[in-house]
Structure 1
Amino acid sequence: MPKAALPYLPVPGALFAIAKPSGPPCMPMLDGIKPLINQSRLFNDPAGIEVSKQAVKKRRFKHRPGGVKIGQGGTLDPLADGVLIMGIGKATKLLQTHLDGPKTYRATALLGAETDSYDSEGRVVRTAPWKHVTRQQIEGVLDRFRGDIAQLPPIYSALKMDGKPLYWYAREGKKLPRPIEPRKVTVFSLECIDWQEGAPIEGEGDGHHFNFPANRVPDQDKETMKAVRQLIVGEGNVPGVAGELLSEAGDLPEVEEQGRPPTFKVEMRVSGGTYVRSLIHDIGHAVGSAAHVVTLSRIQQGEYHCEEQPGDPGNCVPWSVFQKAIEEHHAGGTLPAASGEWVEWEEAILDKMKMVE
């Protein structure tokens, strides 16, 4: 949207998307953007800009220095990259629609090990046999996960009940205050789009080069996790394939095979609230092995899309544009101009945003 098309300033609301890279957590990204937004005449009036500047100087931020609201339409794990929808001002009211709406992901999973976080950022809980698994077997179990399913988050996640993590109840021998509520989600489509054999452990070669995480869960924590699983299974309130796999989890073998196991890559279109990591974890169990996420990309959400390639942000604003502006801001450098010119990050938003009145 060119500057001439703006009916007035400041803009009452704007909706756009950032192409998030893998690595940074979402909340620090938002924290870095907020001072830019609050000190931009694109989104704030002169009085609000002055309030924001004074708050930054005095380190008194309170809730929103300068009064500009900013929010996101569905956070991404640090490991994940892709579409991160942003709402500013009146556009924050539209974010719930994006949170609840369908999203498309591509996830690469490494066979042979499950982790406490269900991704490569966690610690290895169990290694499992993988040499029997083929692409055809992966494709053969996917139908069990299509349609309306029930999911549980990673057992070793931050899921709490009455303020305490689930494993606390197992460790203390306490009964769960109430049954764990599974999350009902819909998997509209789920396809295996790639299969890669592992490259040799030593030397170069064809295939991927992903490895298991270096850290492992101590035996004491494994017992805690097993107790938590028994409590969940004992309640018997997880229907469908998730409940079946959870019940079978205690009987899965602990095996460490030689070599580098293969990866499989899936593309899925899912409803809001779907645990992608749990889906990969359960697929690993369904083929008699284990699996965890090593790459994750949100490639479509609403009208916004971007590809996995770093140079193709689609109709999203590249994060590098904001990263450069944040670094300059911290160094006391370039701020939004008071003249009729826009700085680079403002131009990037103007080019991609949908104005909301």
Structure 2
Amino acid sequence: MAATEAAMASSSLSLEKDPAPVLESSGTAAATAATKPATVAAAATAAAAPATEAAAGSDAGDAKSDMANKLLSLNGVFAVHKPKGPTSAELLNRLKEKLLAEAGMPLPKCNKRKKQTFKIGHGGTLDSAAKGVLVVGVGRGTKMLTNMLSGTKRYIAIGELGKATDTLDSTGKVTEEKPYDKITQEDIEGILEKFTGNIMQVPPLYSALKKDGQRLSTLMKRGEAVEAKPARPVTVYSISLQRFQPPLFTLDVECGGGFYIRSLVSDIGKELSSCANVLELTRTKQGPFTLDDHALPEEKWTIDDIARALELCAALLPAETGLKKPKPDESKEQPLSCESISLSEVKAEGDAIQAS
């Protein structure tokens, strides 16, 4: 009987141990069965990923292509807000780089022999120390920039009495100092009439005017001897004294092309038996474009913002300065290249047109 009980105990022990492997086997099978759909789904997802990425890449490519086409279709004239610091040419290059980057287009290497598709330029150079309205032409609008040179310009200039500089502004070396303590507001207002209307003006030595194909300012910086250009006729439509707080005085000037505010302030200082230079200069208007209403700040240098600005500015321009219809061959796509040109107006050669 003991043997029988031992056998039964052994059998019972066997029965208790055997189910464990069966359960493990069942669990493994279930896990495997559950894993198969997940594996298949993962494989399917992995297989679909390249197609999805390709589709996304295609959409991105299409978007870039659309922006490139939109950029190349821009034509007209608009205005940007130039800050103090960069030259007008440097600002134009910065604008061009931003637009090409947005359109997904590489910066082209300049080659005058290639016909370009994208052309951008500015008309009416502002000194690097000046800020304000800078008129920009894009596409066929670059051909309209000459009209901007002959148009009126308006400036707010802060002059400083008692100091003369070689550049006629605060960026230059002080060349002379004279007293100014006896100069009154009435004295300044009394001489402004002499600088109104059609007058003769000697351009600054530091200017965009050229000698033997090189800018006078470049020659001056090299230390080369430069003779002053002869006086030439310019037009001042209006000039008024806005504020006088010695040694500073603020002028509001509206003038024609080729006029130099630095020369005006210097001449005013001499007329007052003292000397003066420009401490700060802001162009508030050029042609129909004003600083407050039309000049785009840098954060709005986008293709869409410029397209809207072109539509707005087109209504401001006289009909005779409007865009001409493109020639048949101009509408055909051309390889993107870059062309740098510099044009000058005969009566206002200091106001360079630069296109690139």
TM-score class, shorter = 0.5 to 0.7
Match of 2:59 in 1: none
Match of 2:297 among 318, 321, 324: 318
Between Structure 1 and Structure 2, whose CA radius of gyration is higher?
2
Assess, with a 3 A threshold, how the Cα gap between structure 1 residues 315 and 40 changes in structure 2: closer, same or farther. Answer: same
Cα separation, 2, equivalents of 1:118 and 1:28: 22
Cα separation, 2, equivalents of 1:157 and 1:76: 10
Instruction: Kindly indicate which of the two structures has a greater share of residues assigned to helix.
Output: 2
Match of 2:77 in 1: 15
Cα separation, 2, equivalents of 1:12 and 1:158: 29
The answer to whether structure 1 residue 144 and structure 2 residue 123 are counterparts is no
Match of 1:350 among 301, 307, 331: 307
Match of 1:285 in 2: 270
1:223-274: CA deviation from partner (whole Å, max 9, x where unpaired): xxxxxxxxxxxxxxxxxxxxxxxxxxxxxxxxxxxxxxx2011111101010
Match of 2:281 in 1: 296
Q: TM-score, normalised by structure 2?
A: 0.60
Match of 2:157 in 1: 107
Identity %: 35
SS in 2 for 1:136: helix
What's the offset of the Cα at 1:314? 2.3
Match of 2:86 in 1: 24
What's the offset of the Cα at 1:287? 0.6
What's the offset of the Cα at 1:161? 4.0
Does the 8 A contact of 1:101 with 1:302 survive in 2? yes
Assess, with a 3 A threshold, how the Cα gap between structure 1 residues 106 and 172 changes in structure 2: closer, same or farther. Answer: closer
Cα separation, 1, equivalents of 2:244 and 2:300: 34
Does the 8 A contact of 1:38 with 1:65 survive in 2? no
What's the offset of the Cα at 1:12? 4.8
The answer to whether structure 1 residue 128 and structure 2 residue 178 are counterparts is yes
1:162-216: CA deviation from partner (whole Å, max 9, x where unpaired): 4686999xx9999x8xx9442211101011011124xxxxxxxxxxxxxxxxxxx
Match of 2:141 among 91, 98, 105: 91
Does the 8 A contact of 1:108 with 1:263 survive in 2? yes
Match of 1:211 in 2: none
Assess, with a 3 A threshold, how the Cα gap between structure 1 residues 153 and 90 changes in structure 2: closer, same or farther. Answer: same
The answer to whether structure 1 residue 188 and structure 2 residue 233 are counterparts is no
Match of 1:154 in 2: 204
Cα separation, 2, equivalents of 1:87 and 1:161: 27
Assess, with a 3 A threshold, how the Cα gap between structure 1 residues 293 and 162 changes in structure 2: closer, same or farther. Answer: same
SS in 2 for 1:353: helix
Letter matched to residue 270 of structure 1: C
Cα separation, 1, equivalents of 2:205 and 2:97: 37
The within-5 A match list for 1:190-339 is: 190-197=239-246, 262-306=247-291, 313-322=292-301
Letter matched to residue 269 of structure 1: E
Cα separation, 1, equivalents of 2:308 and 2:225: 57
What's the offset of the Cα at 1:320? 3.9
Does the 8 A contact of 1:186 with 1:270 survive in 2? yes
SS in 2 for 1:314: coil
Q: TM-score, normalised by structure 1?
A: 0.60
Letter matched to residue 90 of structure 1: R
Assess, with a 3 A threshold, how the Cα gap between structure 1 residues 172 and 348 changes in structure 2: closer, same or farther. Answer: closer
Does the 8 A contact of 2:166 with 2:173 survive in 1? yes
Does the 8 A contact of 2:203 with 2:229 survive in 1? no
1:308-349: CA deviation from partner (whole Å, max 9, x where unpaired): xxxxx4221113444xxxxxxxxxxxxxxxxxxxxxx12321
Match of 2:118 among 44, 48, 68: 68
Assess, with a 3 A threshold, how the Cα gap between structure 1 residues 65 and 196 changes in structure 2: closer, same or farther. Answer: farther
Does the 8 A contact of 1:22 with 1:80 survive in 2? yes
Assess, with a 3 A threshold, how the Cα gap between structure 1 residues 172 and 284 changes in structure 2: closer, same or farther. Answer: closer
- CA RMSD, Structure 1 to Structure 2 (Å): 3.0
SS in 1 for 2:121: strand
Does the 8 A contact of 2:82 with 2:91 survive in 1? no
Cα separation, 2, equivalents of 1:187 and 1:283: 14
Does the 8 A contact of 2:99 with 2:303 survive in 1? no
- Structure with the bigger RCO (C-alpha within 8 Å, sep 6+) is 1
Letter matched to residue 172 of structure 2: G
Cα separation, 2, equivalents of 1:155 and 1:98: 24
Assess, with a 3 A threshold, how the Cα gap between structure 1 residues 153 and 27 changes in structure 2: closer, same or farther. Answer: same
Cα separation, 2, equivalents of 1:80 and 1:316: 15
Does the 8 A contact of 2:84 with 2:129 survive in 1? yes
SS in 1 for 2:199: strand
Cα separation, 1, equivalents of 2:209 and 2:176: 21
Assess, with a 3 A threshold, how the Cα gap between structure 1 residues 90 and 282 changes in structure 2: closer, same or farther. Answer: same
Paired residues, what number? 240
Assess, with a 3 A threshold, how the Cα gap between structure 1 residues 84 and 160 changes in structure 2: closer, same or farther. Answer: closer
SS in 2 for 1:67: coil
Letter matched to residue 292 of structure 1: N
